[in-house]
């Protein structure tokens, strides 16, 4: 007979206006991976936060190793051997790497924090994982993918029996994913149980022993992986069949909107030359850490650069901070949305509206009706799941927060829209809507730049793709020449080394 590490029975949880979990029961076997799938807002993170003691259920029971437990807070969860990697990377920018790794579980000596031991353990962990950071580096100087790797490291190093991973791979590279999966295999063989949440179907089918599908707060089905196909999981998740392709529109491409010449930074990228035209969607492919995000950050004025020039609609612009960028007609959806995209304690209307006040202010008055209907329309188009526009963004599920940020930039009248990983954390059903929206924006004459780590979406949606390798443009491909293989060869530097003409 299987022994269950963790069992939840008949869990209910409501938030004002939302029934987040509706009589949920699940079992996790010892030494196995249970994957939870479901659309944005289905209740996945809420259930995990209940198991981690962050939220209390309205009713229902939790058993750990067959024993009924009351998990009142995360510290108690830790004591029961539960550890969690959160979907939203919550870190304090000023903290150092070692502080962040040991925060909440400081080793002590004579009643004081034992800093020597903190340092030596940190060095040991970093070396074990061959992570190239110093223990005293501040979190704000790390990239999103570095921070995610540290979170994984932290959760795994606690030596918990039950490890919850809420979208742990949203920001890390394929190589790091493979490494994580190797680790998960190791954890399994040591009898640990893992609950894994992801929107990436290939990943789910690679790592799962069992799969549970959640929809609208209910468990729809749980089966061993082998008894599911990807299509079945998707249709159970969204409750309908999906149009799976990319809604690419073929538009007349206009004149050059943004031209970048000879852009170089100190370390991250060198001599970047590219352009994007009105009505065009231009992709940036490349491995994680190749410098794509850094290029976009420099263009948007978030980072400084050493040399280079930019023109917008033929006019030379000089951009020193995001304010200059917005004034010049550039908007950017950032990869690290918690830091740059949203004001969590404000509601949806305010988050979308603040960036777009000119749409709703006429003759010194705020036209609330126009504001409500415009923002309402964009939110329903992107299927933002929320009780109302007055819902605080903090209360939304991870994927729905992303849709709100996207909505904010979509409404603004920028000529050039830079989207860094626009569909990260977005469920399969809503992705299609976002692609359609991108097509509409291009049709309105905007110029779109899309950075993405998902090759199928770049290939499906772009007119041209630049491939970045180690901070340089390794190649430029026209739509007719797109192929995953070609892009990967350029991204890994293989073609250049082999001297293949581009
Ligand atoms: N603190 C909160 N206050 C109010 N409502 C909340 C809160 N946390 C979650 N909700 C609501 O509960 C529902 C389930 O959210 P949850 O975060 O569990 O979804 P999810 O399945 O993790 O989605 P995603 O894939 O987008 O991360 C959503 O409707 C969400 O708005
Ligand atoms: Mg979630």
Residue ranges of domains in the chain? 4-94+138-238, 254-329+414-502, 340-413
- Fold of the domain spanning 254-329+414-502: Rossmann fold (3.40.50)
Residue 499: what pLDDT?
52
Q: From first to last of its 502 residues, what are the pLDDT tens digits of the chain?
A: 457 999 999 999 999 888 999 999 999 999 999 999 998 899 999 999 999 999 999 999 999 999 999 999 998 999 999 999 888 777 888 999 999 888 878 888 988 999 999 999 999 989 887 788 899 999 988 888 888 888 888 888 888 899 999 998 888 888 888 888 988 998 999 999 999 999 888 899 999 999 999 998 999 999 999 999 988 998 898 876 666 578 888 888 999 999 999 999 999 999 999 999 999 999 999 988 899 999 999 999 999 999 999 999 999 999 999 889 989 999 998 877 666 678 888 999 998 888 777 777 777 777 888 888 889 988 888 788 899 999 999 899 888 888 888 888 888 878 999 999 998 888 887 888 889 889 999 999 999 999 998 898 999 999 999 999 999 999 999 999 999 889 989 998 877 655 544 4
Residue 190 has phi, psi (to 5 degrees) of -95, 15
Ramachandran region of residue 302, left (φ > 0), alpha (ψ -120 to 50) or beta?
A: alpha
Residues lining ligand 1, Cβ inside 6 A: 15, 18, 20, 38, 40-46, 87, 385-386, 395-400, 427
Residue 241: what pLDDT?
65
> Which residues, in sequence order, are bridge partners of residue 311?
259, 316
Inter-residue contact 319 to 299 (CB < 8 Å): yes
Of 54, 51, 46, residue with least CA distance to 9: 51
Residue 463: what pLDDT?
97
- CB-based contacts of 327, cutoff 8 Å, min separation 6: none
55 CA closest ligand 1 atom index: 1
Residue 54: what pLDDT?
95
The answer to whether the 4-94+138-238 and 254-329+414-502 domains have the same CATH topology is: yes
Of 334, 303, 34, 314, residue with least CA distance to 171: 334
Long-range contacts of 311-317 (CB under 8 A, 24+ apart): 311/256, 311/258, 311/259, 312/257, 312/258, 312/415, 312/416, 313/255, 313/256, 313/257, 313/415, 314/255, 314/256
- CB-based contacts of 230, cutoff 8 Å, min separation 6: 201, 205
| Protein residue whose Cα sits closest to atom 3 of ligand 1 | 395
The 8-class DSSP code of residue 30 comes to: T
Inter-residue contact 39 to 430 (CB < 8 Å): yes
State which of 41, 200, 400 you would mutate to test the pocket of ligand 1, scoring each by most atoms of that ligand within 8 A of its C-beta: 41
Q: Tell me the angle at which helices 230-238 and 428-443 cross, rounded to the nearest 10 degrees.
A: 80
Residue 502: what pLDDT?
45
> Which residues, in sequence order, are bridge partners of residue 476?
466
State which of 46, 391, 406, 427 you would mutate to test the pocket of ligand 1, scoring each by most atoms of that ligand within 8 A of its C-beta: 46
Q: Is the dihedral of CA 80, 83, 87, 91 positive or negative?
A: positive
State which of 11, 12, 14, 15 you would mutate to test the pocket of ligand 1, scoring each by most atoms of that ligand within 8 A of its C-beta: 15
| Protein residue whose Cα sits closest to atom 17 of ligand 1 | 397
Give the dihedral of Cα atoms 230, 233, 236, 237; nearest 10 deg.
-110
Instruction: State in Å: Cα 393 to ligand 2 middle.
Output: 13
Instruction: State in Å: Cα 369 to ligand 1 middle.
Output: 27
Ligand nearest to the CA of 217: 1
The 8-class DSSP code of residue 480 comes to: G
The structure's pTM equals: 0.80
Convert 295-316 to b/e letters by CB count within 10 Å (16 or more is b).
Answer: bbbbbbbbeebeebebbbbeee
Please tell me the CATH code under which domain 4-94+138-238 is placed. 3.40.50.300
Residue 239: what pLDDT?
77
Residue 243: what pLDDT?
62
Residue 498: what pLDDT?
55
∠ CA 264-266-271, nearest 5°, is 20
């Amino acid at each position: 007979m299987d022994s269950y590490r963790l069992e939840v029975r008949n869990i209910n949880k409501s938030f004002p206006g939302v029934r987040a979990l509706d009589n949920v029961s699940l079992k996790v076997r010892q030494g196995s991976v249970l994957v939870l799938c479901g659309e944005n807002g289905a209740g996945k993170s809420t259930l995990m936060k209940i198991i981690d003691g962050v939220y209390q259920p309205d009713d229902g029971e939790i058993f750990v190793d067959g024993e009924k437990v009351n998990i009142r807070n995360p510290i108690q969860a830790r004591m029961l051997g539960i550890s969690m990697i959160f979907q939203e990377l919550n870190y304090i920018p000023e903290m150092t790497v070692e502080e962040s790794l040991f925060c909440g579980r400081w080793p002590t000596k004579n009643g004081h924090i034992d800093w020597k031991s903190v340092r030596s353990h940190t060095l040991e962990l970093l070396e074990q994982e061959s992570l190239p950071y110093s223990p005293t580096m501040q979190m704000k100087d790390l990239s999103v993918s570095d921070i995610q790797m540290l979170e994984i490291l932290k959760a795994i190093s606690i030596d918990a029996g039950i490890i919850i991973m809420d979208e742990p791979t949203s920001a890390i590279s394929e190589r790091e994913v493979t490494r994580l999966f190797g680790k998960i295999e190791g954890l399994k063989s040591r009898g640990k149980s893992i609950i894994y949440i992801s929107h990436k179907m290939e990943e789910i089918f690679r790592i799962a022993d069992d799969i549970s599908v959640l929809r609208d707060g209910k468990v729809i089905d749980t089966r061993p992986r082998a008894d599911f196909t990807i299509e079945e999981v998707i249709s159970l998740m969204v409750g309908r069949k999906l149009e799976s392709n990319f809604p690419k529109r073929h538009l007349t491409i206009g004149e050059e909107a943004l031209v970048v010449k000879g852009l170089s930074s100190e370390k991250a990228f060198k001599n970047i030359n590219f352009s994007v035209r009105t009505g065009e969607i231009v992709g940036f492919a490349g491995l994680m850490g190749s410098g794509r995000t850094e290029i976009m950050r420099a263009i948007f004025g978030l980072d400084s650069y050493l040399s280079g020039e930019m023109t917008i609609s033929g006019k030379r612009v000089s951009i020193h901070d995001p304010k200059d960028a917005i004034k010049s007609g550039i908007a950017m959806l950032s990869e690290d949305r918690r830091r740059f995209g949203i004001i969590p304690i404000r509601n949806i209307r305010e988050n979308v509206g603040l960036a777009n006040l000119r749409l709703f202010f006429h003759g010194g008055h705020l036209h609330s009706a126009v504001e409500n209907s415009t923002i309402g329309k964009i939110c329903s188009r992107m299927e933002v799941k929320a009780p109302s526009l007055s819902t605080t963004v903090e209360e939304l599920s991870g994927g729905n927060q992303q849709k709100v940020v996207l909505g904010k930039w979509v409404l603004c009248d920028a000529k050039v829209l830079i989207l860094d990983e626009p569909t990260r954390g977005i469920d399969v059903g809503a992705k299609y809507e976002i692609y359609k929206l991108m097509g509409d924006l291009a049709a309105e004459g905007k110029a779109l730049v899309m950075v993405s780590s998902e090759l199928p979406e770049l290939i499906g949606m772009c007119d041209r793709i630049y491939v970045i390798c180690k901070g340089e443009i390794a190649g430029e491909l026209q739509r007719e020449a797109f192929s995953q293989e070609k892009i990967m060869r350029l991204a890994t530097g293989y073609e250049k080394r082999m001297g293949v003409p581009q």
